[in-house]
Amino acid sequence: MIPSDHFVRYYNEVFKVLQEMGEEHLVAYWQELGRLQITALAERFRAGGLQAVYDYWERIRQEENCLGTLTLTEDYFEFQMHRCPSLSKAQDNDATACDRYCDHCMGWVQPLMEEVGLHAAHDIHSRTEPHCCLRVYRSAGEAVEFEREARLLCRPYMEAEERGIQLVKRPANPEESEE
């Protein structure tokens, strides 16, 4: 058993394996993570809106031992991460951290929020420092306003397209799709 405490270090190795095979495979894996999270969370978020988003990340803040502040307003949810446990573990590691480690977060958050009609914007500040600010808005326009102020905006799918990476259209479960 890879302990749950060490999951992110394993995850980081998977990112590097896929990245070495081609960036398109890493991007496709983020899409798969999004699909997994849609399965687990979309119904809850669709029914409960921003309050459900807040409740989910409050549980994550506790279980993953995050140092961060959660805020809920009428218009948005905010997770101001002061010390990200995920990047911190990827860095406190005898293996090296994937240079696009932080992108996995928006990699699953964006498809999930699109699925439930919300709009995520993520200022990761830096890819080597474990702090960031994630906001989830009701309004697409307000999310864009927040993105204009970002120090380092994380938009992995748009960036992949801009870098000419062909997104792989891969069925999540080929065995099921063959039926």
Q: Please, are residues 116 and 46 in contact by the beta-carbon 8 Å criterion? A: yes
By CB under 8 A, is residue 72 in contact with another protein? Answer: no
In the 8-state DSSP scheme, what is residue 85? H
For another protein, the binding residue among 51, 65, 73, 126 (CB under 8 A) is: 65
Question: DSSP 3-state helix, strand, coil percentages of the chain (rounded to 5)?
Answer: 55, 15, 30
Q: Lay out the site mask for another protein across 12-31 (x = CB under 8 A, - = otherwise).
A: -xx-xx---x---x---x--
SS3 label, residue 33: helix
Distance CA 82, CA 132 (A): 7
Q: Lay out the site mask for another protein across 40-59 (x = CB under 8 A, - = otherwise).
A: x-------------------
- Please report where in the chains the tokens 């980081």 appear, as a residue: 12
By beta-carbon proximity to another protein, the closer residue of 9 and 119 is 9
Instruction: In angstroms, give the least distance from the CB of 82 to another protein.
Output: 16
Which residue type occupies 41?
L
Per CB under 8 A, residues contacting another protein are: 1-11, 13-14, 16-17, 21, 25, 29, 32-33, 36, 40, 60, 62-65, 92-96, 170, 172-175
